[in-house]
């Protein structure tokens, strides 16, 4: 029979093992995405805010953050809060652009990369078509303090891009921030 103090010790150890497993899973999942995800380059429009607890970061807005439904294929109407899988194709210049927007991940299109997002809000576009304003969960990128103003200048020159890793399920994460095609900030796997 276990003594009450050893029973508490066993429970505490089980909790510690469970917490370690959960944290390890979070790190492994992110590392697997950055290591194995399909790379896509997206144009960005940064802003230079600060977070008192976490430092300086830029807010990224992508060309694919605002999609006019007249310019892409859609499966049906979208509302705020809907999940969306945006189909991307690579241009001759190496940048990826939106060709479709679907509520569920389409199957069987091997040359198309699907990135998962969420409809933030919709607005009316030309000819009463909807414009989808989408968040992808990678709109903040933390940078060294003092680098924000320089990135604002680069934003105005339109030479800023990101390399995102996109998994087969559409989850995405930023691998690198590029200026004129050259990496200036890179996310490490660990």
Q: In angstroms, rounded to a whole number, what is the distance separating the alpha carbons of residues 152 and 145?
A: 14
What is the percentage of the chain residues whose pLDDT exceeds 90? 38
Note whether 40 and 116 are within 8 A (CB): no
The answer on pLDDT for 125 being more than 80 is no
Q: In angstroms, rounded to a whole number, what is the distance separating the alpha carbons of residues 60 and 45?
A: 6
Q: Which residue has the higher pLDDT, 30 or 163?
A: 163
Q: In angstroms, rounded to a whole number, what is the distance separating the alpha carbons of residues 128 and 130?
A: 7
The answer on pLDDT for 64 being more than 60 is yes
The answer on pLDDT for 61 being more than 90 is no
The reported pLDDT for the residue numbered 150 is 79
Q: In angstroms, rounded to a whole number, what is the distance separating the alpha carbons of residues 65 and 24?
A: 31
Q: In angstroms, rounded to a whole number, what is the distance separating the alpha carbons of residues 16 and 155?
A: 45
Candidate from 12-16, 50-54, 121-125 with smallest mean pLDDT: 50-54
Residue 51: which pLDDT band, with cuts at 50, 70 and 90?
Answer: low
- pTM, to two decimals: 0.74
Q: In angstroms, rounded to a whole number, what is the distance separating the alpha carbons of residues 60 and 101?
A: 20
Q: What is the DSSP letter of 61?
A: -
What is the percentage of the chain residues whose pLDDT exceeds 70? 89
């Amino acid at each position: 029979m276990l003594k009450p103090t050893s029973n508490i010790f066993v429970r505490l150890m089980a909790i510690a093992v469970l917490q370690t497993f959960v944290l390890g899973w979070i790190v492994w999942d992110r590392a697997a995405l950055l290591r194995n995800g399909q790379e896509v380059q997206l144009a960005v429009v940064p802003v230079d805010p600060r977070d008192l607890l976490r430092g300086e970061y830029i807010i990224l807005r992508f060309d694919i953050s605002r999609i006019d439904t007249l310019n892409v294929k859609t499966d049906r109407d979208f509302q705020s809060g809907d999940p969306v899988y945006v189909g991307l194709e690579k241009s001759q210049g190496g940048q990826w652009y939106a060709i479709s927007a679907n509520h569920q991940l389409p199957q069987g299109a091997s040359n198309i990369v699907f990135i998962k997002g969420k409809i933030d809000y919709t607005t009316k576009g030309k000819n009463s078509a909807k414009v989808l304003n989408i968040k992808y969960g990678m709109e903040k990128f933390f940078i060294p303090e003092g680098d924000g103003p320089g990135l604002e200048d680069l934003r105005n020159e339109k030479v800023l891009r990101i390399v995102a890793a996109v998994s087969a399920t559409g989850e995405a994460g930023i691998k690198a921030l590029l200026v004129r095609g050259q990496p200036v900030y890179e996310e490490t796997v660990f």
